[in-house]
Structure formats: structure tokens, C-alpha cells
């Protein structure tokens, strides 16, 4: 079995296509189930975030499984195949491992280093475990990806990218509306970036911070942390009319702030003051046409992210790329060794059986041997068997990563006439561990 990934993200597809592919919890569950119903897939995990949808699968052949999984994503998008297929990517084998590790570290995020993706990878694994679409292959891969992601955040300063994103966005807002001392700020969303934004505007002197979220408990919790207040999204127009800065960063798949909301708010404003809207969400929370309304300045995520990524995060990105390469090499080496382990175990089991049988026959033909002599003969015969098997077993482990389809292990099994059932029994025992 080998890992195959088929998916789309902000790097390969438009926001419009990502919105068509977007999955809620129920849809992700159904997609995992459909993947397992295809002929060549034995395990499946679906990683669905606001800017990516990926099917991770353990497959026993590349061709055929690629066709089946891409067909599932085309069906999910509900668009003609020619409008979807060019924007899907495929990673297989070691490239799939490298991709998942890069995703877990935040390297593949639009906001490089963002912390939410690690929790999303963990949740994707947990969901697959809950409905038993995850087996030993994907379980070990995702567990290692989580460890690599934690290592990246622990050993580098990549976490600063999110803070830099918010800081750059606020600097752009200040260029329009002036210093934030005494400003009224509305933050739409209550996740990690919303928390960074709330803390940042508080430190810059904002006099009133209002948190609005689809989940009122989350909004209340964040508001309490920064000494602000929470509001219902149903009162969005009134909130927009009262503030000078809006920062929107939800995980919604559709627009949260419509252009007509902004237009109505500008009509209701009691003061002649510009409104800056910072949209840090992907897909976007704010309808782009809102930026053309008189008195409104719209700061997009792409503009801010490009500025951040061209700055101080470059050194941390380089360090994490090297870390990912190192971790991929280590993980694939372990997997390669594991693929030949059943053959090695079966070979040594056969040798042990042959030695025991021959020694038993020898004791029946030789009379008068002392117990000490029997022990010495036993050790000698076993040493000879071990020495004869040592080089083949070392070589098969070395060649495992270089040979396609474990051909060296198969050749070893063929040369020594190993019982296929014995090799399979070891394999099954390993899968249960």
C-alpha cells in the first residue's frame, strides 16, 4: 500500500472553485465513505479547511485510484470535469508524505506558519479514526505529521507570521484612519487570528472592541479576554455603522459581510469618517465590491500576506523546509524497512526451524555426547545459520527504499522458497500493532 493525495487548495484553484468543493462535517464523512468504496482504496482521510480539500488514501495501485478519487472531487464540485480537473493536484508515495508534512507545519498555508492547520490535521485524523476509515498506514503518517508540525512551531519563530499579518494589516488601516487610540473596532470571528487582532488593537489603544461570531460563546470568551463586548451577527449593519475599523477572519465558506451591508452601514453613519475593512479570511469574508463604496477602504488578505511573506518569515520558512526534508527521509526509511520486515522474520523463522530439526536428527544419531558438547554444537550451528543470513537480511533492508514494489524482498522470498502464508501472517500481525 502507498499513500495517494488528490486535492485542491488556494495554491491550485480559485476561491470560487474552493467554495464549490467546500465540505461540512457530514459531507466530509460521506466523502471518506465513498473513497473506501472505490476498488483500490483501503484507508481514507479527508482534510477539509476553508482553503483546501484533500483526500488522503492508502492505495494498492496508482492508476485507477487517481481516476476514482478525482471523480469524487469533480462530483463534489458539481461542475463539468474540464472545469475542475486542471486545478486538482496529485501527490503519491514520498511526495505525498512531503506534502502532508508541509501542510502540518503551515508551509502550504496562505498565511505561512498559521497555527490552526495543526488542529485541523488532528481533527481530520480523529474523524477518520471515529468512523474507522483510518488504518495503520494513514494513522502512522498523520501522527508523524502532527509531530513534525509541533516541532516546526517549537524550533522556529514561524508563529510570528500570523502576528506579522495582523500588524501589517493594522499599519495599512492606520494609513487611512489614523492612530487607533480611542477607535471603535469590530472583529468578526473568534479564532486564533481574531484573537491576535483583538489583542493587537487593544495594545494600540482602541477604546471599544466588539467581537461578533456565529458562535456566541466563542465571541463572549474572546471579548472577556480583551475587555471588549460581544455582539450578534444579526446586528452587523448597526455595528458597521458605529466603528471605524472592521477585521473579519471567520472560517465561513461564503461571504459574511455583503456589499449591501456595508452600503447600508455607510448610509447610517453619524460621522463623516472613513471605514476600513480588513479581510483576513480565505475564502474572503467580505464581498470585493464593498471596497468600491464611497468612504470604504478594503484591505485584502492577499495584499497583506504577500507583504509578510517577503519579510522576516523567509529564514523560518527555509529552516522548516529543511526540517521537512529531513523528516520525510526518516519516515520513508522506517516505512521501507517495515515493508521487508515480514520477509526477514519469515526467513529467520525458517532458518530456526531447519536448525532445530537438524539438531534433533543429529542427537538421534550420535550417542555419548555430554550436555556441554550438545550446547557447543547447538551454538555453532546457530552461528553458522546467523552468519549465512546476516548479509541477505542487511542488504534487503538497504535495498528496500531503492527498489520498486519491494522487489528485493520478493526475490529473497523466491530464492529461499519462503511460504507466502508465513510472510502474510507476519504482515497481519504487524498491522495489528
Active site residues: 50
Supply the Cα-derived Rg of the chain in whole angstroms: 29
**Cα angle vertex 150, ends 146, 153, to 5°?**
140
DSSP state of 60: S
Please name every residue paired with 210 in a beta bridge, in sequence order, or none if there are none.
Answer: 186, 229
Residue 234 CB contacts under 8 Å (≥ 6 apart), including other chains:
none
Residue 167 CB contacts under 8 Å (≥ 6 apart), including other chains:
200
CA 210 – CA 198 distance, rounded (Å)? 9
Q: Where is 268: in which H helix or E strand?
A: helix 259-268
Cα dihedral 412/417/420/424 (nearest 10): -50
* Secondary structure class of 51 (helix, strand, coil): coil
Contact (Cβ atoms closer than 8 angstroms) between residue 266 and residue 275: yes
CA 52 – CA 170 distance, rounded (Å)? 27
Q: How far apart are the first and last CA of the chain?
A: 17
Amino acid at each position: 500500500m502507498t499513500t495517494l493525495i488528490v486535492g485542491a487548495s488556494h495554491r491550485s484553484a480559485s476561491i470560487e472553485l474552493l467554495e464549490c468543493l467546500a465540505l461540512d462535517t457530514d459531507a466530509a464523512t460521506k466523502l471518506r465513505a465513498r473513497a473506501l468504496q472505490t476498488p483500490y482504496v483501503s484507508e481514507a482521510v479527508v482534510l477539509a479547511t476553508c482553503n483546501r480539500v484533500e483526500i488522503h488514501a492508502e492505495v494498492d495501485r496508482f492508476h485507477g485510484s487517481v481516476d476514482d478519487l478525482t471523480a469524487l472531487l469533480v462530483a463534489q464540485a458539481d461542475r463539468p470535469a474540464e472545469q475542475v480537473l486542471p486545478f486538482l493536484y496529485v501527490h503519491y508515495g514520498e511526495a505525498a508524505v512531503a506534502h502532508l508534512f508541509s501542510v502540518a507545519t503551515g508551509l502550504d498555508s496562505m498565511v505561512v506558519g498559521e497555527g490552526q492547520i495543526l488542529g485541523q490535521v488532528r481533527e481530520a485524523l480523529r474523524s477518520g479514526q471515529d468512523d474507522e476509515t483510518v488504518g495503520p498506514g494513514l494513522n502512522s503518517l498523520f501522527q508523524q505529521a502532527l509531530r513534525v508540525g509541533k516541532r516546526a512551531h517549537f524550533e522556529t519563530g514561524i508563529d510570528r507570521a500570523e502576528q506579522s499579518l495582523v500588524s501589517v494589516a493594522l499599519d495599512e488601516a492606520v494609513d487611512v484612519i489614523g492612530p487607533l487610540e480611542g477607535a471603535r473596532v469590530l472583529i468578526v470571528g473568534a479564532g486564533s487570528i481574531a484573537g491576535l487582532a483583538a489583542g493587537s488593537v487593544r495594545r494600540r489603544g482602541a477604546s471599544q472592541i466588539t467581537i461578533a461570531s456565529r458562535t456566541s460563546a466563542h465571541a463572549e470568551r474572546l471579548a472577556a479576554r480583551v475587555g471588549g463586548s460581544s455582539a450578534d451577527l444579526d446586528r452587523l449593519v448597526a455595528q458597521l455603522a458605529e466603528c471605524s475599523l472592521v477585521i473579519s477572519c471567520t472560517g465561513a465558506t461564503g461571504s459574511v459581510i455583503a456589499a449591501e451591508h456595508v452600503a447600508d452601514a455607510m448610509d447610517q453613519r453619524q460621522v463623516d469618517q472613513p471605514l476600513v475593512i480588513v479581510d483576513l479570511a480565505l475564502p474572503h469574508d467580505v464581498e470585493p465590491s464593498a471596497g468600491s463604496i464611497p468612504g470604504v477602504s478594503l484591505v485584502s488578505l492577499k495584499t497583506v500576506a504577500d507583504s509578510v511573506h517577503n519579510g522576516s518569515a523567509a529564514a523560518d520558512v527555509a529552516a522548516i523546509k529543511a526540517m521537512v526534508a529531513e523528516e520525510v527521509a526518516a519516515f520513508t526509511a522506517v516505512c521501507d524497512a517495515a515493508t521487508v520486515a515480514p520477509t526477514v522474520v519469515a526467513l529467520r523463522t525458517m532458518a530456526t526451524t531447519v536448525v532445530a530439526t537438524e539438531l534433533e536428527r543429529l542427537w538421534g544419531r550420535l550417542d555419548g555426547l555430554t550436555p556441554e558438547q550438545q550446547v557447543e554444537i547447538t551454538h555453532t550451528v546457530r552461528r553458522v545459520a546467523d552468519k549465512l543470513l546476516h548479509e541477505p537480511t542487511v542488504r534487503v533492508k538497504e535495498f528496500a527504499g531503492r527498489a520498486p514494489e519491494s522487489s528485493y524482498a520478493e526475490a529473497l522470498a523466491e530464492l529461499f522458497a519462503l511460504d507466502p502464508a508465513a510472510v502474510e501472517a507476519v504482515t497481519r500481525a504487524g498491522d495489528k500493532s
